[in-house]
């Protein structure tokens, strides 16, 4: 399908699944190399968006690996820095662990930096970030991304786990908004 409609918006195919899978393999290979012979890392997948990325990378891992899923509480406070949301669902002890955060997309960078700040309060050994997509032109924060599947232009996209108003996560390709 080259075009899809999600709710009131039309989207056209921007990244075919073959390119996504190639990017996934590269990310996984790099993680395999970096963690070979090290203590088992814990992958922390940020729901909902990162579930497909996490599953696909995980299938390509040859190192000893653990995965857990967390999400943000619906609570939204306000602060000068913008949205402040709390991570929930973390049941593992992160003390002294290698943690790899799995994110679907880094846009402004606010969300990922918020995740890293919260994870660091649990005293992990180190924290790395893997993101399927990165929009460098939208990023307003200083971010340190260790594994990036693809850099994309500053356009709204859906598919491959990413939604528009709850829908569109199911597509294996990525689509960008046209109208």
14 lies in the site for ligand 5GP, by CB under 6 A:
no
Distances (CA, A) of 51 to 63, 140, 145: 20, 25, 19
Q: Which residues, numbered 19-38, are part of the site for ligand 5GP (CB under 6 A)?
A: none
* Binding residues with ligand 5GP: total (CB under 6 A): 16
107 counts as catalytic: yes
Instruction: Pick the piece of the chain touching ligand 5GP (CB under 6 A) from 19-27, 54-62, 65-73, 107-115.
Output: 107-115
Write down the catalytic residue from 107, 146, 163, 165. Answer: 107
Instruction: Pick the piece of the chain touching ligand 5GP (CB under 6 A) from 18-26, 36-44, 87-95, 154-162.
Output: 154-162
Rounded to a whole number of angstroms, the CA Rg of the chain reads 16
The C-alpha angle with vertex 139 and arms to 135 and 140, in degrees rounded to 5, equals 175
Q: Which residues, numbered 39-78, are part of the site for ligand 5GP (CB under 6 A)?
A: 49
Residue 1 burial by Cβ neighbours in a 10 Å radius (0-12, 13-18, 19+): exposed
């Amino acid at each position: 399908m080259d075009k899809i409609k999600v709710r009131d918006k039309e989207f056209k195919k921007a990244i075919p699944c073959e390119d996504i899978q190639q990017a996934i393999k590269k990310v996984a290979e790099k993680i395999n190399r970096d963690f070979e012979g090290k203590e088992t890392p814990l992958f922390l997948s940020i729901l909902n968006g990162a579930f497909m990325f996490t599953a696909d990378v995980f299938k390509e891992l040859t190192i000893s690996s653990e995965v857990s899923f967390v999400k943000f509480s619906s609570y939204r406070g306000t602060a000068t820095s913008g949205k402040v949301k709390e991570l929930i669902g973390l049941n593992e002890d992160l003390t002294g662990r290698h943690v790899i955060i799995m994110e679907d997309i880094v846009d402004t960078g606010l969300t990922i930096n918020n995740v890293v700040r919260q994870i660091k309060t649990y005293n992990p050994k180190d924290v790395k970030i893997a993101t399927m997509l990165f929009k460098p032109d939208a990023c307003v924060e200083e971010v340190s991304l260790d594994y990036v599947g693809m850099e994309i232009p500053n356009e709204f996209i859906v598919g491959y786990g990413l939604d528009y108003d709850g829908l569109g996560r199911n597509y294996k390709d990525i689509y960008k908004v046209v109208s």
